[in-house]
Structure 1
């Protein structure tokens, strides 16, 4: 009885010890995996050095304007009696485009002409008085010489003669002034007939027939005429890029309606100051150092100007242009991604990691030309077809 009971108990102990041993081994293996495993090698993203066309350019936002545009205004006040053109019409220089009611100007001209005639008549009358004064003076002088008249009568005749001559001089000045007023009135009458100062297209009609214009304070605009066979692009270049651009550089742009078509030109000028310089100086205050400090930190842009032919008038005023100012370009040159460039050395060369046949990266020094932050031009140190590390994928995180 005693021996038969001890045998099952011994088997149970052995089985328990076996399970404990298995659990300890599993825990050891798990600990080794968690705390003593070697992290996997990071994966590399590679790119092949290849031949391609490359361009380094400055991007700017531009606006199209007519190469020449003038506002044709009125220099006299009155009702716009007749408008001779319509929107979109082609006009020639000197062509009559509008007429203002000229009744007021005609009346002004007649008034000053009448005043001039009055001054001339007064001069004629004074001329007769002068003749009479000269005869009286001569007679008194002869009589004084013969002691037939008094010295007082002679002096009176002499004074009358001098006063009459002075009156004639004053009338001559008044006549000259009246003639100027006549000329001015005649010019003002001519201003009622408005002509185009240049050839071009009517791009805006500001004042309609029947409206009354007032030129006392400002010259009101009747129409706007522009030459649109050539357009000027005004590109806003940021202050970070303006130091890299120069007149004479190649430039092209696209418009929203034709994003795949390029219009080419040559940068002809860069305005020396931003548009903000035209703002009222009262918005700026002087600091203690004597420099103007603006209340807001706005981005600063300088206008670059270039012209482009527009024979078919596809380009229109105020269109938005995406402008590219070309700093440099190369055809079929060796390029790699800019992200593959490492640190730049004192000699100007960059470090890159070249992946060999064993798929292991090795460092190499290369000489770089243009770099537009997307691709870099390789001048020395690499050959077409070689692979470089452009990015390194992050290794998987180890659980803690």
Structure 2
């Protein structure tokens, strides 16, 4: 009994150290786990920054020079009056198609008819006067012949012979003068006849009446300037005059492909070939007239050169003075690796650049690339990137309202 009781009293003493050891082991384990978790987070790299990216993709590039132009008729003629007078009638209307030689208007011909008759009468007067002097010359020739024969026989004085010869010579000169006056008067007749013809105004070419400037009954004065009756244009072929800035004019040349759209049909692209680049800007006349002092004091202005090309207009949809948005093709690339221009940082040369590319951990790293042709939005990548790689285009702000549609990496 004593032994059993002793063992029972000794058991709690042995269990107490065992509990302390278990508590120490547990505390050590918890501390080790805490250290491991803390070390894990401390050793982790910082999170990748939030950036907006886009993938390197396959696409087409059209590198162009963009300009604004005006559409004008291939041929535009101001049909005017070459004689003064009252416009008796206008024989065409706005928009009418006319043929070359067709009468457009008529100026009152009566003043010109009177001028023609007056000139013809002047010619007849001169011819009559010449005929009268020719008869006198014939008499003088006979008198001179008699004096010559009599002088040979010694029955007349030399002074009478010389007087007869002088009279004949004078009459011959008068006849030559009358001949010249008749030619001059005949020229006046021809001029009056031409002026009479000018009272009938005809179309110089086939075309469309695009403006009627003078009204019926209006009096025109052709002495000061040439008054315009109507404006006639050929609308089957139109000429586009595109204003090319001085920064781009060296990039273009005749023969390059061009296309344009109009404000009324922005989705319809019409194609042509560049025909001509004017050698000087239209402002050269004003620049020549201005003085050096005024030029130095004036604010510098942009300089533009006109580039011209023709386009057919069989449907008549192109109209004079329309605005054209013109693109001149410099380079064209198909099925090339492209990235947005916004992702490129310029490098050491014109075809060198730098981009930031996401690595395997989603972090942007800088990479040098070689580039080619570009347009307003994208640029060709010749080397340095692979299809599908993600390039950074912008640092993205934190998105608190949900997905906004941007491709955000990190």
Which whole-Å CA distance do the structure 2 matches of 1:211 and 1:385 have between them? 75
Name which of 148, 154, 157 aligns with 1:150.
157
The match for 1:286 is: 292
Q: Quick check: 1:368–1:377 contact (8 Å CA) kept in 2? A: yes
1:311 counterpart = 2:289? no
Change (3 A) 1:192 1:346: closer
The match for 1:67 is: 74
What are structure 1's unaligned runs of at least 5 residues? Answer: 1-37, 396-400
The match for 1:88 is: 95
1:274 counterpart = 2:245? no
The match for 1:375 is: 378
Q: By how many angstroms is 1:355 displaced?
A: 0.8
Which whole-Å CA distance do the structure 1 matches of 2:362 and 2:86 have between them? 86
Name which of 373, 390, 393 aligns with 1:390.
393
The match for 1:3 is: none
Which whole-Å CA distance do the structure 2 matches of 1:205 and 1:296 have between them? 40
Instruction: Indicate the SS of the match to 2:269.
Output: strand
Q: By how many angstroms is 1:277 displaced?
A: 1.7
1:50 counterpart = 2:52? no
For the pair shown, which has the larger CA radius of gyration, 1 or 2? Answer: 2
Which whole-Å CA distance do the structure 2 matches of 1:304 and 1:191 have between them? 38
Which whole-Å CA distance do the structure 2 matches of 1:294 and 1:169 have between them? 66
Which structure 2 residues correspond to residues 153-192 of structure 1 after superposition, within 5 A?
153-192=160-199
Q: By how many angstroms is 1:39 displaced?
A: 9.6
Q: Quick check: 2:61–2:374 contact (8 Å CA) kept in 1? A: no
Which whole-Å CA distance do the structure 1 matches of 2:169 and 2:259 have between them? 80
Q: Quick check: 2:240–2:309 contact (8 Å CA) kept in 1? A: yes
Which whole-Å CA distance do the structure 1 matches of 2:302 and 2:127 have between them? 67
Q: By how many angstroms is 1:202 displaced?
A: 0.7
Which structure 2 residues correspond to residues 1-400 of structure 1 after superposition, within 5 A?
42-279=49-286, 281-282=288-289, 284-286=290-292, 293=296, 295-345=298-348, 348-393=351-396
TM-score, with normalisation over the residues of structure 1? 0.84
The match for 1:15 is: none
Residues 319-354 of structure 1, C-alpha deviation per residue, up to 9 Å, x if partnerless? 111111111122232110112222413594322222
Instruction: Indicate the SS of the match to 2:225.
Output: coil
Change (3 A) 1:237 1:280: closer
Change (3 A) 1:242 1:294: farther
Moved more, 371-380 or 163-172: 371-380
Which whole-Å CA distance do the structure 2 matches of 1:319 and 1:168 have between them? 66
Q: By how many angstroms is 1:390 displaced?
A: 1.6
Q: By how many angstroms is 1:373 displaced?
A: 4.6
Change (3 A) 1:384 1:92: same
Q: Quick check: 2:207–2:232 contact (8 Å CA) kept in 1? A: yes
State the superposition RMSD in angstroms. Answer: 2.0
TM-score, with normalisation over the residues of structure 2? 0.82
What are structure 2's unaligned runs of at least 5 residues? Answer: 1-44, 399-410
Aligned residues: 354
Residues 145-191 of structure 1, C-alpha deviation per residue, up to 9 Å, x if partnerless? 22221122111111110100010010111011111111111111111
Residues 20-45 of structure 1, C-alpha deviation per residue, up to 9 Å, x if partnerless? xxxxxxxxxxxxxxxxxx99864322
Which whole-Å CA distance do the structure 2 matches of 1:69 and 1:363 have between them? 59
Moved more, 194-203 or 48-57: 48-57
Moved more, 155-164 or 371-380: 371-380
Which whole-Å CA distance do the structure 2 matches of 1:186 and 1:293 have between them? 55
